[in-house]
């Protein structure tokens, strides 16, 4: 592939990356929204009380509240096992989403020479120590996988909106559960900026 083709592909990928980052952000907002609704449901409070107590609660804190409610109310094992699996996936997405959002270059980006659909995302400018620097190679396809799993998490959480007093049936608000797509990438072993 010649240089012009490489740059054309990289520019197309850059546009796709920005688009998918926006879509991922919206899908993440949906996660926070449904977690708030589940927290309200499991806390068994009215909407005004839920807003007073939990407004501004982020995903990690909502999950901790939900787990505490489950433990303190002797919630059914079926419910707990179900949300534990979903919460693990939410945690994976959240950790990597945070890294991408805080360390991606929006206008000036470096792509992989051998694959212009992949860009470097690194914390090398902000890491307190060189040994702690993380660099990943990813593209819009990674963000699509994350977004798809955010949507799947939301659908899998829908059954948790049923009253706690009812028997719980794990499932999906859209029928069959879809397999998880996103697997957190491993950081590159040697940062390209450590040389």
pLDDT, one tens digit per residue, over 90-124 is 999 999 999 999 988 766 678 888 898 999 998 88
CB 136 within 8 A of CB 146: no
CB 182 within 8 A of CB 151: no
pLDDT in tens, 44-80: 999 999 999 999 999 999 999 999 999 999 899 999 9
Distance (Å) of CA 126 to CA 54, 109, 121, 141:
32, 16, 12, 26
pLDDT for 80 equals 96
Residue with tokens 């007093």: 165
Tokens in use for 164?
Answer: 């706690």
Measured between alpha carbons, how far is 150 from 194 in angstroms, rounded to an integer?
33
Measured between alpha carbons, how far is 12 from 140 in angstroms, rounded to an integer?
10
Tokens in use for 183?
Answer: 């697997």
């Amino acid at each position: 592939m010649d240089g012009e083709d490489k740059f054309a592909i990289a520019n197309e990928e850059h546009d796709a990356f920005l688009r998918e980052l926006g879509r991922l952000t919206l899908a993440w907002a949906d996660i926070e929204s449904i977690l708030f609704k589940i927290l309200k449901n499991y806390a068994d409070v009215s909407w005004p009380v839920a807003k007073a107590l939990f407004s501004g609660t982020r995903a990690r804190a909502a999950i901790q509240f939900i787990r505490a409610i489950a433990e303190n109310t002797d919630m059914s094992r079926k419910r707990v096992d179900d949300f534990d699996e979903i919460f693990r996936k939410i945690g994976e997405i959240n950790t990597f989403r945070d890294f991408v959002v805080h360390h991606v270059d929006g206008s000036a980006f470096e792509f992989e020479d051998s694959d212009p659909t992949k860009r470097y995302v690194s914390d090398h400018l902000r890491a307190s120590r060189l040994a702690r620097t993380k660099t990943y190679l990813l593209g819009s396809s990674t963000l699509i996988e994350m977004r798809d799993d955010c949507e799947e998490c939301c659908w899998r959480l829908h059954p948790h909106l049923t009253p706690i007093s009812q028997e719980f049936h794990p499932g999906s608000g859209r029928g069959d559960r879809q397999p998880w797509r996103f697997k957190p990438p491993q950081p590159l072993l040697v940062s390209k900026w450590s040389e």
